[in-house]
Amino acid sequence: MLELFSKRSQIIGLDISSTSVKLLEISRGKLGMQVESYAVEPLPVNSVNEKTIQDPEAVGEAVRRVVKKSGTKANRAAVAVSGSAVITKVITAPAGLRDSELETQVMLAADQHIPYALNEVNIDFQVLGPAADDGKQVDVLLAATKTENIEDRELVLKLAGLKAAIVDVEPYTIEHAMDLIIGNDEERAAKTIAVIDVGATMTSLNVIQDRQLIYTREQPFGGKLLTEEIMRRYGLSYQDAGRAKRVGGLPEDYLPEVLEPFKQSIAQHINRYLQFYYSSSQDVEVDEILLAGGSSSIEGIDGYITDHIGTPSSLVNPFERLECREGIDRERLIQDGPAMMIACGLALRGNE
């Protein structure tokens, strides 16, 4: 049999977000990468709120449905916890320690830097390289999240008959997806790129430079506010308001009186996020804004942000260079692209 693409990775990327569960499976082979399976399943209102799973049963059911819909054979998943659920800290440790010694050092540092009891958190660490001015020390990146953040996700997967193979952190999944988008374009890689994910309940800023995440921040803000305003103003249900946002059909005053102020609000938020970034220790100017998340599908939002912020902005799409397995609706995949950044980063982790 001809095998142009490698065997399936058997690990799917699963973004459990506040409005839906997004599933993506990517294989890596000699001819490049290919989308093997893809499906999105809506979640009941408030079953996930601001990245916290409130109703594991309902979310587990949705995961089961999305797996079925996608047709994947995989039974292991890569999932992510949100950036704000994770505390990271760069510590230094003596170079050349054995693994067990390094772990002891890391736990000591964690005890000092993490504001929770150590038995309530999951800790991971990675040696970054030699510390700046000293050959005898190494920098170590320490990451910790409350155990419940991971357990909630593991429970949901278990309810759907899946195992958690990888638990990543959302901003790092965006770093991963950006690596795919940048490809071999070294000029672009050297640029400072702000990926701004405007979801339904949360908006994050992720600054990438030299393929590395150098800054991240997220806050509650997103398209749900627009949905709620449509519900209030036109007396629509949540579902109908959500549909109207995508397909239109609202009264004439919608554009000037509802959508325009919301676009303004997005621009204000992005401006504020960038100010946070510039006032942090990192002050490399952002060259380019890439808009992600479902709310970036608002028509013309990229041009609007370019005009209002003064930095070239466009929609990001992780699927432009990917092949698709036969039977996948490529048009829909491309249309959903900006909202699939996290799922994409997770799927890539799954096939490394």
Ligand X SMILES: Nc1ncnc2c1ncn2[C@@H]1O[C@H](COP(=O)(O)OP(=O)(O)OP(=O)(O)O)[C@@H](O)[C@H]1O
* CA atoms lying within 13 Å on the CB side of residue 143: 18
Q: Which of 294, 318, 337, 345 binds ligand X (CB under 6 A)?
A: 294
Nearest Cα to Cα of residue 191 among 211, 175, 205, 214: 211
Residue 246 touches ligand X, criterion: CB under 6 A: yes
Residue 337 touches Mg ion, criterion: CB under 5 A: no
Nearest Cα to Cα of residue 46 among 58, 32, 28, 33: 58
Minimum CB distance to ligand X, residue 30 (Å): 33
Residue 145 touches ligand X, criterion: CB under 6 A: no
Residue 317 and residue 176 in contact, taking contact as beta carbons nearer than 8 Å:
no
> Across-strand partners of 34?
27, 323
222 versus 350: smaller Cβ distance to Mg ion? 222
Sign of the four-CA dihedral 288, 308, 51, 46: negative
Segment 4 to 43, residues that bind Mg ion, using CB under 5 A: 17
Q: Which of 59, 258, 298, 333 binds ligand X (CB under 6 A)?
A: 298
Q: Which of 27, 173, 227, 317 binds ligand X (CB under 6 A)?
A: 227
State the number of binding residues for ligand X (CB under 6 A).
22
Residue 350 and residue 9 in contact, taking contact as beta carbons nearer than 8 Å:
yes
For 158-221, strand residue ranges (E) read 163-169, 192-198, 202-209, 212-220
Residue 140 dihedral angles phi and psi, to the nearest 5° = -125, 130
Minimum CB distance to ligand X, residue 47 (Å): 11
C-alpha span between 29 and 19 (Å, rounded): 32
Residue 183 and residue 189 in contact, taking contact as beta carbons nearer than 8 Å:
no
Segment 23 to 52, residues that bind ligand X, using CB under 6 A: 51
Minimum CB distance to ligand X, residue 105 (Å): 35
C-alpha span between 212 and 90 (Å, rounded): 15
Residue whose beta carbon is closest to Mg ion: 199
Binding-site string for Mg ion from residue 184 to residue 223, where x marks contact by CB under 5 A and - marks none: ---------------x------------------------
310 token code pair: 């003064």
Residue 339 touches ligand X, criterion: CB under 6 A: yes
Q: Which of 8, 13, 18, 84 binds ligand X (CB under 6 A)?
A: 18
Residue 318 touches Mg ion, criterion: CB under 5 A: no
- Pick one of ligand X, Mg ion, none as the site partner of residue 20 (Cβ within 5 to 8 A by kind): ligand X
Residue 19 touches ligand X, criterion: CB under 6 A: yes
The b-or-e profile of 67-86 (16+ CB within 10 A means b, else e) is beebebebeebbbbbbbbbb
Q: Which of 5, 8, 12, 17 binds ligand X (CB under 6 A)?
A: 17
131 versus 341: smaller Cβ distance to Mg ion? 341
- Pick one of ligand X, Mg ion, none as the site partner of residue 350 (Cβ within 5 to 8 A by kind): none
Q: Which residues bind ligand X (CB under 6 A)?
A: 17-20, 51, 199-202, 222-224, 227, 242, 245-246, 293-295, 297-298, 339
Q: Which residues bind Mg ion (CB under 5 A)?
A: 17, 199
